[in-house]
Structure 1
Amino acid sequence: MALVVVTAGVWFGYQRLTAPSCSGALPLVVSATPEIAPAVQAAADRWRADSGAVGDTCVAVEVTASDPVDVAAVVAGQHGVALAGVGQASGTAIAPDVWVPDSSTWLLRLSSLAPGFTPANNESVARSPVVVAMPEPVATNLGWPDQQLTWTDLLQQITTGTELRTGIVEPTRDAAGLSGLLALGEAAGEAGANAQQATTAALRALATGRSALREDLIARFPRSADPASVASALGAAALSEEDVIEYNAAQPPIALAALYLEPAPMSLDYPYAVLPGADPAKAAAAAGFYSVLTGAGFRERLGDQGLRAPDGTWGAGFSAPQGAPSPAGTAPATVTPDSGGTAAGGLDPVVIDRTLATWTSVTLPAQMLAVIDVSGSMLEPVPTADNVTRADLTREAARRGLGLFDDSWALGLWIFSTELDGEQDWRELVPISPLSSRRAELEASLSEVVPKRNGNTGLYDTTLAAYLAVQDEWAAGRVNSVVIFTDGRNEDDSGLTQDELLAELAEAADPQRPIQVIYVGIGDGVSQEELESITNTTGGGVFVTEDPANIGDILLKAIALRPTTVR
């Protein structure tokens, strides 16, 4: 009897000592990119076993493996913005309390568009350098592993050679693809007067081998050691180091080499972002869980997943590719758009925006009618651009844009003011035609974009006429759009009213033949609200810069606006 009593007492004491010191369950939803999700889940399990709590309340961490593009779409929708190439969120996607995407560039792109998106913490919890993945025989032919290659070397191979088959995951939807694209763009930018030509050539070469999904791209690497198979398969792609480690772990017939090109492109840095709107209890829970992800145990879990610690070094279980440096990768990123203009790898967020816009405009075939304002106000000089006129800047932006489009595009050009062609506010300079046959004519016609002194802005009549013209020429399988450059608001009292224009557009709109109406507003005389009332009816967008000197970047953003599907 005494033994039973003692045993029962010991068991009761043990139960009291090992019982959780918290009660209840405070849910904390964490969305993590798939490659890091297992390590995050293991850390959450360990924290729960150790009675992770906020005060006296237990924290129940729910980890979901979510592609960053899906979470980005949800967050963008919540803030009423659209990320280029991302599209609408799926019905099953949700906004978490904590988001661990693969790159801070997602946070940067969102925060630069939506001022209300101000995630907290944002510190890196892992790292994976972006490398150029090549089948080992291909890499050996380029001097690997003995020779240190640069992005300029790769650019030359892409733009002047014919043997290297390159590919990329759609960079508007993939952070590693974006990192590689930015690095190539920087190398092309060093080509001086030939920078735009080099950039366009590189983008077009990459576009021939692009994939919407990383898995699809990786599947195109050679599956046989036969030389003919190697020559016809994918030869180079910007991927993460983790992608290469995972691929080689399956022991394929031909392993991939990871080339760490110089200068190092921005790494995947896996930021720990506490999304806006968290109440104090959840914010405290998020802070507590973050401390778990900075411990030595998590570093070892990262190694098992082929990931490095935030400082670029690795722990046990990490299978380093041949020639992998340690530490490796770029400095941690900042996601504050007003923090001096830096992003992951020390990049300007404007550069990210411009690069993605250029990529979209170069790689997606389209049919576009460009309509340029030639009212008298376009003669106004621009102090920030050596006092050249607004019309001069617009012509130059159009000329540069024309250089980006390949012969798969179809393009037309109008000008407009008031009573430009009799009582008609617009005049056609070049009808919508394939660039393959009328590029020279379009370039020459830009010299006819000359403002009409004392001319007003016949915006509404011109918008309707341009919309109907594109509708008549509508082409399946392309993005069909009207791009209207203007520095003012409608000033044609004898033409359509705003209500009449909206009614006409609503009646003409055909969901089976969508047309994007895009306004590029120049200067402080533009009414964004007026223009948005039109694009809300037709689809499209409004891009306004008060400083006309920035029209080049604004034009790229406008052209990059694409529907999520092309009919």
Structure 2
Amino acid sequence: MTGRHRRHLPSAARFAAIVAGALAVAGVVVGVRAGVGRVDAADCATPVRLTVAAPQEIASAVRASAAEWARTKAAGKKGCIAVDVQARSAPEVAAAVSREQRVTLAGVGTAQAAAVPDVWVADSASWLLRLRTAAPAFAFTEDGSLAQSPVVVAMPEPIAKELGWPRKQLTYADLLTAMTTDTSVRPGTVDPSRDAAALSGLLALDAAAATQPRADAAGAVLRALATDASTLREDLMAQLPQSDDPGTLAGSLGLAVMPEYDVVAYNSDQPAVPLTALYLTPSPAPLDYPFAVLPGADPAHADAAHRLYEHLTQSPAFRERLGVAGLRSADGTIPTGLQTPTGAPRATPPPADGGSAAAPKVDDAAINRTLAAWSAVVAPARALAVVDASKSMSTPVPSARNATRMQVSLAAAKGGLKLFGDDWQLGLWMSAAGLDTNGNHRELVPVRPLRDNRGAVAAALGSIRPSGGDGALYRTIVDGYRQLRDGWQPGRVNSLIVLTDGVGDEEITLPDLLRQLQGLRTQDRPVQIIIVGLGDAVDRQPLEQITDTTGGGVFVAEDPAQIEAVFLQALSLRTATPR
């Protein structure tokens, strides 16, 4: 859960509080289903039951205002409405949507039980952007924002003062130096594939690092943050110092990106060491709580949802409830009751647009590139890349100035190679019928550490050309999977990465392939298969059966000119646990 933290307690008491809180949230969700729907629709034979999922920090404000609205004539003029507001984290809802859309999103997987709501109030529009990129048919309606919370860099106050705050307005350059060269400041983060605030901050830090003279500044930032990465924000908050003595400060979390509301909540408990919130310029994209009506809602539910949004955005009571929850209004201004940290702007400054080199526009390409780079750092791989070299890969791509499928594939692979650290182990094969004595693939570079292998891989990628043969994908997948399993190494994501424009005339049948993979698969040596497909003629069904057997995922660039974005998205998935 990525919602607001609760009072900081010693470990045993804190664990009990977390368990109690989780049970309370579960009770609230069940209670709302059983209670609000019945109370608000008591006089209705067939009420419209609208389900709304929202993160914990805003759910209570939405629930209270929705209950008030459901009792009004404005809500009932087209029939009775019951609103069920469920406190659900963004990764949980994203996993449920991913399951329904048959896609996989890095960091969240697919939920097996959770239902998809009628309305989703995610904490950030970046979730909707990621899902729309992964599933272009994900046709939701986004009405607008309900609230905001600026994304800040939080530091224990004594550490911020050592860097010159508040006399000096700290900059990205100051923080990058502190993160990568000052051993007295211990940075940390929540996994950005699961936390929108962490992703927003990482995008801004990465953009700032690109302007620094140090060639590897962006990589140094990622490595520094990954050292103390947490899955849950509560775990990150638990690492904050409990006293201001030098030893405790040196061993505790000294810098982390988080939403403003978390700083407000933490300081409201009057901790021994309060947090300082740094509002950087240009600012990271804030959490903006978009109100999205999800696909599948019938006209009555969609109409009720849109009218609920109008009520929330026009309600003074809802604005006051946001302030109590530690959130700003949708326009970024401060509502009554919100005590912001020292130095907070009166209104959230807009993030810089794509014209600024220091803060590029937050789009799907930037997100995919950042998450792929994060995955490359936190999950070093032992990987074998297979490039389909069948004759169909010579097909021109009109949207890529008639470059061939092979050329656009290799360009994407070369871009991915730049993300991989020297501790990666990588090998390269090309695959087509009749290539070599084994009849289906040729080893171009054996799997070895990139510190010794990078030049050889880059040169081999530049030498691959489509052959005159048909595809031989199934046999190559079996051979590649077997080699990776036999040479499997702990502490790494062992992956077979396949770039192909689809299944051709295969030597073995799909059932035979699946039986062989099932026979090779072992629980103690998991190997993922990541398949990147090119073109709108790719049949996903057999490829998905392969990855369902081994773990991994299928990513298809229907327009091969978009292969780079899809390739980066596929790389970011590697943090998922193999099944």
| Residues 477-486 or 80-89, more deviating | 477-486
Match of 2:546 in 1: 534
Q: CA deviation at 1:501?
A: 2.9
Aligned-residue offset at 1:388: 7.5
Cα 1:384–1:227 shift into 2, 3 Å: same
CA distance in 2, matches of 1:133, 1:389: 48
RMSD: 3.4
Whether the 8 Å CA contact 2:284–2:351 is kept in 1: the answer is no
In 1: Cα distance, 2:395 partner to 2:79 partner: 65
**CA–CA distance in 2 between the matches of 1:48 and 1:385?**
52
The reply on whether 1:68 has 2:90 as its aligned counterpart is yes
Q: Which residue does 1:9 correspond to in 2?
A: none
Deviations 1:334-357 (A, max 9, x none): xxxxxxxxxx99522221222222
The runs of 5 or more residues in structure 1 that have no matched partner are: 1-19, 334-343
Distance 1:346 1:399 in 2: 24
- Counterpart for residue 342 of structure 2: 322
Shift in alpha-carbon separation, 1:150–1:332, aligned structure 2, 3 A: closer
Matched, 1:369 2:384: yes
Shift of 1:244: 0.3
The corresponding residue for 2:19 is: none
Q: Post-superposition shift, 1:267?
A: 0.6
Q: Which amino acid in structure 1 is aligned with residue 420 of structure 2?
A: F
8 Å Cα contact 2:426/2:446 also seen in 1: yes
| Residue of structure 2 in register with 1:468 after alignment | 482
Contact preservation (8 Å) 1:127, 1:329: no
Alpha-carbon deviation of 1:547?
6.1
CA distance in 2, matches of 1:31, 1:128: 18
Mapped pair 1:248 → 2:270 = no
Equivalent positions of 1:77-156 (< 5 A) are 77-89=99-111, 91=113, 93-156=114-177
Post-superposition offset of 1:110:
1.7
After superposing the two structures, state which structure 1 stretch, 260-269 or 510-519, moved more: 510-519
Match of 1:37 in 2: 59
Structure 2 CA distance for partners of 1:97 and 1:520, relative to 1, 3 Å: closer
Q: Secondary structure at the match of 1:318?
A: coil
Three-state SS of the structure 2 residue aligned to 1:105 is helix
Report Cα offsets for 1:252-273 as digits up to 9, x if no partner: 0111011000111111111222
Indicate the larger mover: 408-417 or 303-312: 408-417
**CA positional deviation for 1:359:** 1.5
Closer/same/farther in 2, CA of residues 153 and 386 from structure 1, 3 Å limit: farther
Alignment correspondent of 1:292: 311
Distance 2:504 2:326 in 1: 58
Q: Per the alignment, in what secondary structure is the counterpart of residue 481 of structure 1?
A: strand
Supply the distance in 2 between the matched residues of 1:163 and 1:69 (Cα, whole angstroms).
33
Match of 1:157 in 2: 178
For residue 414 of structure 1, give the secondary structure of its aligned residue in structure 2: strand
Q: Across the two proteins, how many residue pairs are aligned to each other?
A: 531
Aligned partner of 1:10 in structure 2 is none
Question: Structure 1 residues 536, 216: CA separation in 2 closer, same or farther (over 3 Å shift)?
Answer: closer
- Which deviates further from its counterpart, 119-128 or 145-154? 145-154
TM-score by length of 1: 0.83
The answer to whether 1:231 aligns with 2:250 is yes
Where 2:369 maps in the other structure, the secondary structure is helix
Deviation at 1:447, TM superposition (A): 2.3
Aligned with 1:109: secondary structure? helix
Q: Which moved more, 1:554-563 or 1:46-55?
A: 46-55
Q: Deviations over 1:275-294 (max 9, x none)?
A: 22223333333233323312
C-alpha distance in 1 between matches for 2:323 and 2:111: 32
Of 375, 396, 408 in structure 2, the residue corresponding to residue 360 of structure 1 is 375
Q: Is 2:294 the counterpart of 1:272?
A: no
Q: Is the deviation greater in 536-545 or in 261-270?
A: 536-545
- 2:337 partner letter: G
**Per the alignment, in what secondary structure is the counterpart of residue 27 of structure 1?**
strand
Other structure's SS at 1:53 match: helix
Q: Deviations over 1:380-405 (max 9, x none)?
A: 78787788876666556445434433
Deviation at 1:309, TM superposition (A): 0.8
Q: Which moved more, 1:161-170 or 1:441-450?
A: 441-450
Which one of 490, 498, 523 corresponds to residue 484 of structure 1? 498
Instruction: Say which SS state the counterpart of residue 526 (structure 2) adopts.
Output: coil
CA distance in 2: counterparts of 1:21 and 1:370, whole angstroms: 58
- CA shift digits 1:7-31 (9 cap, x unpaired): xxxxxxxxxxxxx999325432222
Are 1:168 and 2:189 matched, yes or no? Answer: yes
Residues of 2 paired with 1:95 and 1:374: CA distance?
41
Q: What amino acid sits opposite 1:463 in the alignment? A: I
* Residue pairs, 1:44-63, within 5 angstroms: 44-48=66-70, 50=72, 53-55=75-77, 57-63=79-85
Report what 1:181 is aligned to: 202
Quick one: distance in 2 between partners of 1:445 and 1:288? 57
Give 2:172's aligned amino acid. Answer: W
Once the two structures are overlaid, the 10-residue window that deviates more, 269-278 or 208-217, is 269-278
Correspondent of 1:220 among 218, 221, 239? 239
Task: Decide whether the 8 Å contact of 1:28 with 1:282 is kept in 2.
Answer: yes
User: 1:90 deviation in Å?
Assistant: 5.3
| Alpha-carbon distance in structure 1 between the residues aligned to 2:88 and 2:545 | 35
Structure 1 42/407 Cα, relative in aligned 2: closer, same or farther at 3 Å?
A: same
